[in-house]
Structure 1
């Protein structure tokens, strides 16, 4: 039972970053982060932002060591690697919605046919007669597409 407890505790603590910082096991890694930031010309503030879990003192120590080394050997600053591209936004699939026609967009022939069907005994007029009647009454459906071509007297 005791062995099981120790095994579970050690497994949980193995992934903990805090232990590495307390014991000093991560100091070389944090110094390497600082040195890499200096070599690529990144500021300390940017390096701190990019690595919030790392110890700032160790990052500064690595940055300072690399700065002295680069000054002593007259090494140029390298270009930093490009930031990874941001993820593309997901395209939402279009939802099927029924098309609702506005009164101005309705076809006069269809309107006439629907009235005839609803009445049940009325005979539908020809489309030309229905359009002629609409023109005489002045009830011409005008859309933005054909607004310039329709003139009323």
Structure 2
């Protein structure tokens, strides 16, 4: 009986140091967190506010976006880096030029 207990204790102590594949955290979760953190840093460098960053990236974790934004803010302040404003293109046909807008009703043809 004492041999079995000793053998079981030895096996358990040896296996406790093993890293069994498939039982660790999912790497996709860590990847999503790092991506959200990068989004936050990019928003800070582009001189965007946190609310705008959240609105532009609704699927990203807000906590990770905030951490990335905060880290980039600290880095930019320490190294005296000026941000560069983002240039977002307008969607084609989103707004008509003022000359194309009709202000009076069109004449009816009889």
**TM-score, normalised relative to structure 2:** 0.58
> Matches of 2:46 and 2:31 in 1, distance apart?
25
Query: Among residues 82, 87, 90, which one is paired with 1:85 in the alignment?
Result: 90
How far apart, in 2, do the equivalents of 1:59 and 1:43 lie?
11
Residue number in structure 2 paired with 1:28: 34
Deviation at 1:84, TM superposition (A): 2.2
* Larger Rg computed on CA atoms: 1
Please list every run of at least 4 consecutive aligned residues from structure 1 whose deviation after the TM superposition is greater than 6 angstroms. none
Deviation string 1:78-129 (CA, Å, 9 cap, x unpaired) is 1212x2222327xxxxxxxxxx74xxxxxxxxxxxxxxxxxxxxxxxxxxxx
Residue 43 of structure 1 aligns with which residue? Answer: 49
User: 1:42 Cα shift?
Assistant: 0.2
Q: Which gives a bigger RCO, structure 1 or 2 (Cα 8 Å, sep 6+)?
A: 2
The answer for unaligned runs of 5 or more in structure 1 is 1-18, 90-99, 102-153
Counterparts of 2:67 and 2:82, CA distance in 1:
20
SS in 1 for 2:31: coil
RMSD, matched Cα: 2.1
| Whole-angstrom distance in 2 between the partners of 1:56 and 1:78 | 23
Gaps of 5+ in 2: 1-26, 95-108
